[in-house]
């Protein structure tokens, strides 16, 4: 069986998705990055190998996400794509006719506008955490609620309280105040869901036109409270595609399959031995300009494979 591997390495989670020639999901894994992208990529690769059916051939690897170039160097990627394109392609695959993609991840969020099968506009938030999953996770921890139970609690609310959610610091102090004056936990929880949605609409999606069909992707789409809050704010049905948490990886694999087809492409994939390779990461200060950027580099046996981390692309994807 010929398969195509998509790898999405984000700041909070790392996803791997293996698709067959019919673009069906064969195996997948969803891991916490935990600030260790290299070891998590290696672990994910081992998990994929453990799930693969016999007689499976990996025809190529595609990477996406914030650490897509790092992942590409480690794995020997045949294709490296930005997450906007990857998420859009996956959304169109699962929801034909989709026109708006809402993607909320652990530390960033996006909106992608698609018209007639073409991405015409997008917006991203990579600075403020108030419109991302980490916002909810932090507040859930303060409320002593497992993040997996957050959505269920939110749906119990009959009188949600308004939380000042424009900033995580203000939201937290406002939430504590609401607790102190006796509001029910479920009303505070749903108020936090509404605050996240307000922040997303007022920042990431400001000035964007939401047209149906609307796809909601990313790990936060597990949260039924956010889905309800989105639908209330937009007055439009919100669709959650299958495997919504893997959409970046799936989109990358779909793009790869389309690019290489079945023309006997020879993959650059370095194989599963990558899981046992001892990669070394170090850094240095670039003195080419007054910014003094800290440049990270990855190497094996003292040979530099790639460098990244500057404000410009001077060191991006260059070896020694």
Q: What is the CATH number of the domain that holds 167?
A: 3.30.420.40
Q: Are 134 and 210 contained in the same domain?
A: yes
| End-to-end Cα, the chain, rounded Å | 38
Structural domain for 263, as ranges: 2-92+248-276
Q: Are 232 and 129 contained in the same domain?
A: yes
Measure the CA–CA gap between 308 and 287, rounded to whole angstroms.
14
Kindly report which listed range (59-73, 145-159, 166-180, 277-291) carries the lowest average pLDDT score.
Answer: 166-180
Q: Are 211 and 313 contained in the same domain?
A: no
Task: Name the burial class of residue 155, with classes exposed (0-12), middle (13-18) and buried (19+) by CB atoms within 10 angstroms of its CB.
Answer: middle
Measure the CA–CA gap between 163 and 178, rounded to whole angstroms.
8
Q: Are 155 and 167 contained in the same domain?
A: yes
Q: What is the DSSP string of 169-183?
A: HHHHHHHHHHHHTT-
Residues 29-79: tens digit of each pLDDT: 999 988 888 999 999 999 999 999 999 999 999 999 988 988 998 999 999
Position with higher pLDDT, 105 vs 129: 105
Q: Are 147 and 87 contained in the same domain?
A: no
Q: How many domains does the chain have?
A: 3
Q: Are 177 and 234 contained in the same domain?
A: yes
Q: Are 179 and 112 contained in the same domain?
A: yes
Q: Are 111 and 201 contained in the same domain?
A: yes
Position with higher pLDDT, 136 vs 49: 49
Q: Are 86 and 34 contained in the same domain?
A: yes
HSE-CB for 29 with a 13 A CA cutoff: 21
Segment (H or E) for 83: helix 83-94
Percent of the chain with pLDDT over 90: 59
Q: Are 61 and 129 contained in the same domain?
A: no
* CB neighbour burial string for 225-250, b if at least 16 within 10 angstroms, e if fewer: bbbbbbeeebeeebbbbebbbbbbbb
């Amino acid at each position: 069986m010929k398969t195509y591997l998509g790898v999405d390495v984000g700041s909070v989670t790392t996803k791997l998705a293996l698709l067959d020639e019919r673009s069906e999901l064969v195996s997948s894994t969803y891991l916490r990055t935990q600030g260790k992208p290299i070891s998590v990529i290696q672990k994910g690769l081992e998990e994929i190998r453990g799930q693969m059916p016999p007689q499976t051939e990996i025809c190529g690897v595609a990477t996406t996400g914030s650490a897509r170039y790092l992942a590409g160097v480690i794995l020997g990627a045949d294709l490296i794509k930005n997450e906007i394109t990857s998420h859009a392609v996956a959304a169109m695959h699962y929801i034909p006719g989709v026109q708006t993609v809402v993607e909320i991840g652990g530390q960033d969020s996006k909106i992608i506008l698609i018209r007639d099968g073409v991405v015409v506009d997008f917006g991203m938030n990579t600075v403020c955490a108030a419109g991302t999953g980490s916002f909810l996770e932090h507040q859930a921890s303060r409320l002593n609620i497992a993040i997996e139970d957050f959505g269920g609690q939110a749906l119990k609310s009959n009188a949600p309280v308004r939380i000042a959610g424009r900033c995580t610091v203000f939201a937290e102090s406002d939430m504590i105040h609401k607790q102190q004056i006796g509001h029910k936990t479920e009303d505070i929880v749903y108020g936090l869901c509404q605050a996240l949605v307000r922040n997303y609409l007022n920042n990431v999606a400001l000035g964007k036109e939401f047209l149906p069909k609307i796809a909601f992707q990313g790990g936060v789409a597990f949260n039924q409270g956010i889905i309800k809050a989105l639908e209330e704010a937009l007055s439009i049905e919100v669709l959650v595609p299958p495997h919504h948490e893997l959409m970046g990886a799936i989109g990358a694999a779909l793009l790869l399959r389309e690019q290489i087809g079945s023309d006997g492409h020879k993959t650059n994939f370095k194989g599963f031995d990558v899981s046992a390779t001892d990669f070394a990461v170090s850094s240095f200060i670039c003195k080419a300009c007054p910014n003094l950027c800290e440049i990270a580099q990855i190497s094996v046996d003292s040979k530099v494979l790639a460098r990244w981390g500057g404000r410009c692309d001077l060191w991006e994807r260059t070896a020694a």
